[in-house]
A and B are shown apart, each in its own frame.
Chain A
Amino acid sequence: MKNSFLIFELKKELFAIDVNNITEVIDYTPVTSIPETPEYIKGIINYRGNILPIIDLRTKFNLEQKSDYNSMVIIVMSIDIKGKTVVLGGIADSVSNVFEINIMTTTKLPEIGTKFNTEYILGITENKDDKIIVLLDIEKIFTVDEITIINEAGT
């Protein structure tokens, strides 16, 4: 059982999301911010005549925010939150390629001793250049408000 994953980059780290959750990837467009919302919610955009909420994935994962968003991309995802389908866009630095992997064969992380928060991670794999790719459990990520994926203090 192989699944396809899309690789994206946040602050030089590689992450991947199951393509079944991804509708498309669009260029960054200016976002209308909404007052009185958590910081990671960047705002909303006009997505083909509908309102699309935009999440800043860097902020969501407690990574340092980028000052210039213009070169970034928006990954449009459709995920299940408490039985309801929610469409949202996640801002990432860039996306690269799609690869196939059997999740069962990925490395499971030990609970301690890594800089990654294992709760939201399906597994870990490496690309050709031996760079680590973190496979994210995207639906779990959006069921909680604040999460830390990478423990920056430890690095």
Chain B
Amino acid sequence: MQNWIGMILGTLTVRVTGGSHERFMNLCAVYNRDMWDFRAEGDSITVKVRASEYKNLRKAAHRAGVRLKIIKRHGIPFWLRRYKNRYGLVAGILVFCLLLSFFSSRIWVIRMRGVEGEIEQQILTQMKQEGITLGTRTSAFDFATVRQKLIVACPQISWMSLNPSGSVLNVDVSLRTAPPLVLDHQQPCNLIASVDGTILSMNIKNGDPMVKVGDGVVKGDLLVSGAVEYADGCTVFRKAEGEILAETKHRVTFQVPYEQTHSCYTGKTKRRYAFHFFGLSLPLYIGSVSGTYEKTDRYRPLVIDQVALPIGIYESKFALTQPLTVHLSREEAVAEATEKTMEYVSQSLPNCEITAINYQKEFTSTHALVTAEILCKENIAFAEKMLIFQ
């Protein structure tokens, strides 16, 4: 304890020579001087004394006839005095303290657990709207209120917590488990045709069929009725169920011009880097990329102990492109239209069995017009609720 106080207040090691050092010691004890650690070194002694007490030793030294000489100075006051005129060092320490205080009070890492992908982005966007982003002050938010707002804004969240820990904001999220879909078997409904077609087969599990195989139906026609009438005259309303396969026809037209302009890569790429530092982005380049290009961005943060720090490098890759005019022959235009048709089939008719595709081609001076007639086999039964008025 004495050492610590000595370090803070400053301590001098003093050599006492000549005269009677025993008398000097006794006088110091009588005057209650703050001295300790007397050590004899031949004819002299050394003693440690509080820096502020040194002036008060003169009277005792004079009376004992001894001479005092400071041989060592310890403690913070002397250390500070040594750097008194070094303004740069003082300014550096001051700036360091200010920066430390500034950066410690802000959020630099948002660590999310329990969620990923689209919902994570949604939560981050919502947090941004509430004002929580990298670099915001931790004390500026009431996290309990923000948490409530986020839960209300994102219905997928069942529970979440926002725990600031230093400069890291830990976001723990628990997602809501959707209740299983309860099929209502009690709700009476009819089966109606969802598209025009000719019925190929019927597999009815419940309800009264209104059509038969081979019939042609248009969109909205009643296929299976949920109102089942018994021989005794009573009518029971049920949920009509079944699968009705019909041959349907879809028509789609694509217009393919002979002269097309594409953007093609020149093979040249340019890279631009930016230094990302605590939310600030400092460009490490001069000038901009001219012409047409496709840009891809990549961010490489500085990672220490699996923690991504808010310091890193942004890399933007510009793949330069140039417009290229392509002249297609009629055959090539038709092939492109066929390709587009197949794309349409896979995207728009996923549950259909394609039986045939017939193409009708028309050619003008500027483009080819290809009309595809797609014949498919599909279930056209669509459940529609019955409105029952009592």
- Say if A and B assemble together: no
Residues on A lying within 8 angstroms of B by beta carbon are: none
